[in-house]
Each structure stands twice: as C-alpha cells, then as structure tokens.
C-alpha cells in the first residue's frame, strides 16, 4: 500500500510539474499579431446606397465584390462574375462560406425574362440512415464529426453555370481567388468573431481536428487570431491551381471549352480530389463512397413563385426554407401594415405572428420534393393565406402555432401525409461543442445586359477538413432531422432542408430586385423585413437594410441539436431599449441583440428603378458586405 501511495505521489508531482511547465511555455509563446495589413473594415459601419447605370455587385466581402466588378470590367457577364466572386468568397470568408459549399442559386435571364433555380445542395450519402445514426449513439446529427458532411455541390453548380451561361474559362475565373489565397487578406471582424475561440477551445480544436487547426490557427493553439493580420490559404490555392491545370491540359489536347470545364468537374468528383475525400472518410469511419461522389448531380428546376400585391417572389424549392418568405408576405398582404407605425409593437407583433405561422408550416411540410409530396400549391394559394391570416391573435402564440392544412387548398393532391413535428424534446436543448466558424454569405449581381443572380453560399469547418487540400466539406447533414416521419427526416440520397435561400423579385412581370442574406433561421425573417421596409414604408434600399430588426425563435432551430425556445423573440438594441416591456406585455420572452447584430441577417440587394433604369444597391453593415457599381 505504501509503495502504491508513493507511486501516486510521484505521478501527482510529475503531472503537476507538467502542467506548470505547460503554463510557463504558454506565457512564453508569442500571442500577438504576425503581419498586420491596412484595412478599412466595413463591419457595423453605416453607408449610403450605391447607384449605377450599367452593372453592380453586392457580396459578403469587399474582395468578392471587387472580383465580380473586375470580371465584368473585362467583359464577363453576371454568371462569370458570380463564379469568380464565389471562389474569392470561399477564400476570404471560408470559415462561413467554404469551398466546396452548398450553393442554392436563382438567376434571371435578361434575354428570355426567365427565372431559373439551381438545386445547389448536396445529398445524403447512400449509407446515411436514421438507424445508422442511432446505432452510433446519436439522436441528432452530430457536429465536429465526419457524419455531418453532405456530398459537396458547389463544383457541380459552378461548372454547369459556366458551361451553359458563362463566357470565360475556369482558369480565368479562379485566378483572383488563387492570388488572394496566396498573397493573403486581413482578418476581418466577422471572421475574427466566427473564430473567436478560448484557449481551451483552440487547444481542443488542434486535438480533435488538427488539420482544421492548422488551416485556421496555423497550428498555434496558444495564439488567437487578430483583426487585420494577414491570413493566407496556400493549400486551397494549390487545389485551385490543380483544377485550373486540368482545364488547361484538356484544352491543349484539343477539347472544347465545355469539355475542358467538364474535365474540371470530373477531377473533383471522380479524380484526385475525390480520392482524397474518400481517404478521409475511410480514415474517420465516415459514410462517403466513390459512387456517392461520381453519381452526384445538381440540376435546374422550376422556381417556387409567390406574390405580394404586384410583386412576384421567386425562390428555390422546399429543400430550402425559401418559400417561407412568400408564405409570410401573402399572410401579411391582407393586413394594413402602412397604418401601423414602422417597427412599433403592433407592427412587430403582426409580422412576428405571420413569421411564426410560416415557420410552423415549414416545420410540418418542407423537405426534398423528390422524397416528400410537399403541398406547395396549397401553401402558396391566396385562399390558404387568408385562412392563416385568421389565426393572428392579440397576444403572442406562446409556443409554435399549429401548422395549417394546405392539402385542402390545392387541386393536385397526390399522397397526403400527417405532419410529424417533434417539439418537446427540443425545448431549450443546450447546444454543446465548439462553434468553429459559422453563418453564411451571399452574392447579388446584375450585369449590363440585365442578367441577375442571387446566391446564398455556406458551410463551415465544424467537421474534419480534407488534409492537404484546404477543402471544407461542411456540416449540412445537421439540418436533417432524425425523426421518423418528419418531412425533413434523413434518407439516403435526400437533400436536407437547408436554411440558405436566395430570392429574385419581379414587379409587374419585370425584373425588380435580387436579394439574399446569411443568418440561419433569420434569413427569411430578415428579407421579409427589408422588403416591407422598402415596399410598404418607401425606404431607400440601404435604409431598409440598416433599419433595426426583430426575430422569432419560436420553432426548432434548423441546425442540430434543433434547440427550441418557445415564445422567445430577439430585438436589436434600439428596439429593445424602446419596446422590450411592450413586447413582454404581449406575452413574448424578449432577448436583446446589439446594434447591427451579426446574427440578425446581413442582407445584400440590388434593385432596378423602372423610371430611370438605374441599379440601386445596398449592403448590410451586420457583416463585411459591400456593394459597388459602374
């Protein structure tokens, strides 16, 4: 026994000495910035709207906007500019909008006046079943885990768009991203916030996902990121260069532009990159197979259309939350909002209730329409909106309101289903784990021909990145539910109902606006408020974007573990200071958000004035968003 106690004593002394040594080393190690760059950060800085006679871009970072403008300066169209801007955004905002990411896309073709939707979100791998997740001990899709990864979609969308609508080569559109990835850019406020980890979290990151820690923390767990220090992505630049070389080799061998672009896509989904992705999944006990990657293909689809007065709103299908915005606006169409004081308690309560009714229908009915007979015709009928309008009450709902019966409001019925929506087990469920990167970003572009794009790009490094490549496969499997019978329940080959949802708007059947935003479940809510600020209250687009916001949390979060806070709303500071007590009197639990809060959406928008033909653009100070026009 004495010998055992002696061993324990020696072990305790040794461990204590090791801890003391680590503490000494920590304090000795350098923690300051390495290489500061000059940077006029637009975050939380109010700015005027931008006007232009020819073309315009408003995107999630100044560098992505500059790239889009440079492409159009040299004769590229909106599709070329979007592709180049997307790749630059993947570099300069990679912790929120990574390559290869989810990329739901809406375009307006100026020649045909057609609005088109591209289903730019990957599918669940073939092995992904609810039973498999339950066997591995999960009741929701886990974060910081290889199991959260969805088949990547942005290379497919990008190449398809360039082949069918673009004019430039992949090598031309990727060049700006390669340059900035090599030369570096200053860490901006949103990036610094997204990667603001404690010492323990940084240390844990380097243990749990060491390659992620290498990419974003340079492997230096002891040193936080600093605003304005130079940040580079050399391995991502190398991946882009290899993809570019594949195209150049194909062209040199006599292949056409379209065939050379296809070679780039094949290199990703069937070539060297695919091999590295599968190697990671084999190593981490993941679910991807070579067949999953080789068989993946996005496609064009009919957009979903709703209406508010003489405005037509176009969005992606119910594999996004996009149709929520027209559902909300159609409920509000029969309400005299103009008679209410803007952002008064009466106004906020009315709009919040319409939001919560729309979100209840989202929870009940939205899912991949290839797997679920979504009653979208009924959900967007004016008669159904009138019925839902009768559900508005003088006081807060308290809990998520009951979903409606949209099958009763459409001619084509098909196979109906009774919604399965779990609420009790998600109530105020505590989130766990490190939040390593978050949010989303956006691109809105209009070229001199009138072609327009709305793109919402996302994915963050909360799961293992592909070693040596700089590639982030994202965590969008976390937007599936593991609830049997739910419209958004996980199934092999199914697309999750993701939050990113770009929007295109026409007025009197002519192009009027491209609009999009990051913000998770706040995305539709933010765009509804900006639209109403602009259309109902006559605000300039930048003023409409900068007006204080409110939001609801009265439904399960779209990301696992799907926490649910019944009756809770958020108010930005100005609204909270003036109306928190009034909203509490209406029955809401009220939480305060700072002025220009990052998680209240960051809208970018461009609209065209019919009278002058001018483009007017806005960019949200709640992110690094920036608009420019020529």
The 10 Å Cβ neighbour count of residue 283 is 11
Tens digits of residue pLDDT in 197-244: 999 999 988 899 999 999 999 989 899 999 999 999 999 999 999 999
**Which of the four pLDDT bands, split at 50, 70 and 90, describes residue 7?**
low
- Alpha-carbon distance of 400 to 357, in angstroms, equals 8
How remote is the C-alpha of 253 from its chain's centroid?
39
- DSSP-assigned letter for residue 303: P
Does the pLDDT value for residue 115 go beyond 80?
A: yes
In sequence order, what are the residues at sequence separation of 6 or more whose Cβ sits closer than 8 angstroms to the Cβ of residue 47? 542, 619, 621
Which pTM value belongs to this model?
A: 0.95
Strand partners, 305: 314
Structure tokens belonging to residue 111: 């020649």
Q: In this structure, are strands 452-458 and 440-446 parallel, antiparallel, or unpaired? A: antiparallel
Does the pLDDT value for residue 31 go beyond 70?
A: yes
Closest CA relative to residue 509, chosen from 112, 243, 140: 112
Does the pLDDT value for residue 430 go beyond 60?
A: no
In which element (H, E) is residue 571 found?
Answer: strand 568-572
Does the pLDDT value for residue 15 go beyond 80?
A: no
In sequence order, what are the residues at sequence separation of 6 or more whose Cβ sits closer than 8 angstroms to the Cβ of residue 89? 59, 60, 61, 63, 64, 97, 441, 443, 457
Strand partners, 571: 550, 592
Write down the CATH number for the domain with range 50-147+304-462+474-491+499-630: 3.60.20.40
**Which of the four pLDDT bands, split at 50, 70 and 90, describes residue 439?**
confident
**Which of the four pLDDT bands, split at 50, 70 and 90, describes residue 531?**
very high
Does the pLDDT value for residue 18 go beyond 70?
A: no
- DSSP-assigned letter for residue 494: P
The 10 Å Cβ neighbour count of residue 83 is 31
Q: Where are the alpha helices (DSSP H) in 37-153?
A: 62-73, 78-92, 130-135
pLDDT for the residue numbered 16: 64
Q: Where are the alpha helices (DSSP H) in 74-137?
A: 78-92, 130-135
């Amino acid at each position: 026994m004495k010998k055992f106690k002696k061993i324990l004593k020696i072990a305790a002394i040794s461990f204590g000495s090791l801890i003391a040594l680590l503490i000494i080393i920590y304090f000795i190690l350098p923690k300051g910035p390495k290489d500061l760059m000059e940077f006029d950060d637009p975050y939380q800085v109010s700015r005027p709207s931008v006007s232009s006679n020819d073309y315009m871009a408003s995107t999630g970072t100044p560098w992505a906007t500059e790239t889009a403008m440079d492409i159009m300066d040299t004769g590229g169209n909106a599709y070329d500019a979007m592709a180049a801007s997307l790749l630059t955004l993947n570099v300069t905002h990679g912790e929120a909008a990574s390559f290869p990411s989810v990329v739901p896309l809406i375009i307006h073709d100026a020649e045909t006046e057609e609005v088109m939707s591209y289903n730019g979100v990957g599918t669940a791998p073939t092995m992904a079943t609810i039973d498999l997740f339950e066997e591995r001990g999960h009741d929701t899709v886990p974060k910081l885990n290889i199991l959260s990864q969805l088949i990547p979609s942005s290379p497919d969308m990008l190449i398809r768009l360039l082949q069918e609508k673009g004019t430039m080569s992949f090598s031309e559109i990727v060049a700006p991203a390669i340059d900035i990835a090599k030369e570096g850019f200053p860490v901006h406020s949103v990036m610094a916030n997204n990667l603001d980890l404690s010492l323990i979290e940084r240390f844990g990151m380097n243990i749990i996902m060491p390659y992620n820690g290498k990419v974003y923390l340079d492997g230096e767990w002891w040193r936080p990121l600093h605003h304005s220090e130079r940040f580079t992505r050399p391995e991502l630049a190398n991946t882009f260069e290899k993809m570019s070389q594949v195209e150049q080799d194909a062209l040199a061998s006599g292949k056409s532009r379209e065939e050379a672009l296809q070679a780039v896509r094949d290199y990703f989904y069937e070539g060297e990159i695919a091999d590295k992705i599968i190697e990671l999944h084999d190593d981490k006990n993941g679910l991807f197979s070579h067949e999953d990657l080789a068989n993946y293909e996005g496609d064009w689809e009919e957009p979903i259309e709703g209406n508010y007065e003489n405005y037509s709103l176009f969005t992606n299908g119910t594999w996004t939350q996009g149709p929520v915005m027209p559902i909300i606006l159609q409920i509000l169409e029969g309400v005299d909002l103009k008679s209410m004081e803007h952002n008064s308690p009466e106004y906020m309560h009315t709009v919040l209730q319409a939001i919560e009714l729309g979100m209840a229908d989202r929870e009940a009915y939205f899912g991949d329409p290839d797997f679920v007979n979504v009653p979208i015709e009924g959900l967007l009928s004016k008669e159904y909106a009138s019925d839902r309008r009768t559900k508005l009450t003088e006081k807060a709902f308290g809990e998520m309101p009951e979903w409606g019966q949209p099958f009763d409001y459409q001619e084509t019925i098909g196979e109906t289903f009774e919604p399965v929506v779990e609420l009790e087990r998600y109530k105020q469920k505590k989130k766990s784990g490190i939040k390593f990167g978050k949010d989303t970003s956006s691109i809105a572009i209009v070229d001199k021909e009138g072609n327009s794009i709305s793109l919402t790009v996302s994915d963050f490094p909360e799961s293992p990145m592909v070693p040596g490549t700089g590639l982030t496969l994202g965590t969008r499997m976390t937007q599936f539910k593991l609830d049997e019978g739910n419209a958004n329940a996980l199934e092999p080959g199914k697309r999750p109902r993701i939050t990113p949802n770009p929007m295109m708007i026409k007025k009197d059947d002519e192009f009027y606006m491209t609009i999009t935003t990051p913000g998770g479940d706040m995305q539709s809510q933010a765009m509804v408020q900006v639209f109403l600020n602009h259309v109902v209250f006559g605000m300039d687009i930048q003023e409409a974007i900068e007006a204080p916001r409110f939001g609801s949390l009265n439904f399960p979060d779209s990301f696992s573990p799907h926490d649910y806070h019944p009756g809770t709303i958020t108010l930005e500071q100005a609204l909270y200071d003036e109306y928190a007590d009034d909203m509490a009197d209406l029955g809401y639990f009220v939480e305060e958000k700072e002025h220009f809060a990052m998680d209240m959406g960051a809208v970018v928008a461009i609209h065209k004035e019919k009278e002058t033909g001018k483009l007017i653009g806005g960019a949200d100070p709640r992110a690094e968003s920036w608009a420019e026009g020529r």
